[in-house]
Amino acid sequence: MTQLSVNVNKIAVLRNSRGGSQPDVGVAAAACLAAGAHGITVHPRPDQRHIRTADVYAIKPLIEGHLEFNIEGNGFAPARGDYPGLRALVASARPTQVTLVPDGDAQLTSDHGFDLSADAARLRPLIAALKDYGCRVSLFMDADSPDIERVAEIGADRVEIYTGPFAQAFASGDFSRELELCASAAERARAAGLGVNAGHDLSQKNLRALKSAVPFLAEVSIGHALIGEALYAGLDATVRAYLRLLAWA
């Protein structure tokens, strides 16, 4: 069965907009896990616009030993303020999985995958270091990337297919090409011995189509849509709805 990892960044955005500690990221994560989510994803950034370093340590005890903790981030972004840098954070928190994403402060959200023709040489030692901490490593990759097979060559364990273009095309009603690209990327990754994750703008509306096209998906990381839907239905009901979709195909 495809695992559901709930990204709780948006809970932190809401908290930070007001200051203080409410809504509590740890309480929200616990509610998702109680509803059956298989893990929690956080994506701390150096500017700490949402998830903060302290949130990582608050969530870790909820998960440790029996569920998945996925930390996303740019492994090359320098430490800043209370943010120690991704590698130092991972060395301390020891998540189950690290998903490396080529994002920067100027990006509102992650909007592209790695270009391994430019990044492979510096990714290889970083991936090795992260795996030395006992973490599985996944690389955020575009569905149309020519570099899918190289992800295995540089030592990563999985790819996370960037599904933003698919989700946008789905919303427009003409998504067959983008879905085919996702399915092709997943098949290429599997043939190279990689596990396949997917994430970005997945929702209850488009998830079934993706899961049907890629039935062997290992994990989906879903945050923005799930938290938005939960405003109406509640976290428990929304997480359970996603789990039913993932179990369907």
Q: pLDDT per residue over 15-52, tens digit each? A: 999 999 999 999 999 999 999 999 999 999 988 888 99
The pLDDT assigned to 32 comes to 97
43, HSE (Cβ side, Cα atoms, 13 Å): 29
Q: How confident is the model at residue 110 (pLDDT cuts 50, 70, 90)?
A: low
Mean pLDDT, residues 123-131: 97
Mean pLDDT, residues 106-134: 86
Q: How confident is the model at residue 147 (pLDDT cuts 50, 70, 90)?
A: very high
C-alpha–C-alpha distance, residues 50 and 82, integer Å: 13
Can 200 be counted among the known catalytic residues?
yes
Mean pLDDT, residues 123-143: 97
Determine contact, residues 43/101, Cβ cutoff 8 Å: yes
Candidate list 68, 72, 160, 219, residue with the active-site label: 72
Determine contact, residues 60/93, Cβ cutoff 8 Å: yes
Can 66 be counted among the known catalytic residues?
no
Q: Pull the structure tokens for residue 70.
A: 């996925």
CATH superfamily entry for domain 3-248: Aldolase class I (3.20.20.70)
The pLDDT assigned to 77 comes to 87
Candidate list 43, 160, 178, 229, residue with the active-site label: 43
Can 112 be counted among the known catalytic residues?
no
Mean pLDDT, residues 135-147: 97
Lowest-pLDDT choice from 1-5, 8-12, 82-86, 143-147? 82-86
The pLDDT assigned to 5 comes to 98
Mean pLDDT, residues 156-173: 97
Instruction: Convert the pLDDT of each residue in 201-216 to its tens digit.
Output: 999 999 999 999 999 9
Candidate list 38, 68, 178, 200, residue with the active-site label: 200
Residue of 248, 225, 249 lying closest to 239 (CA atoms): 225
Provide the 8-state DSSP code for 79. P
Q: Is the pLDDT of residue 60 over 70?
A: yes
C-alpha–C-alpha distance, residues 213 and 203, integer Å: 15
Query: How big is the chain, counted in residues?
Result: 249
Determine contact, residues 219/181, Cβ cutoff 8 Å: no
pTM, to two decimals: 0.94
Mean pLDDT, residues 210-235: 96
Strand ranges in the chain using DSSP code E only, listed in sequence order: 3-7, 39-42, 68-73, 97-100, 136-142, 158-162, 195-199, 219-222
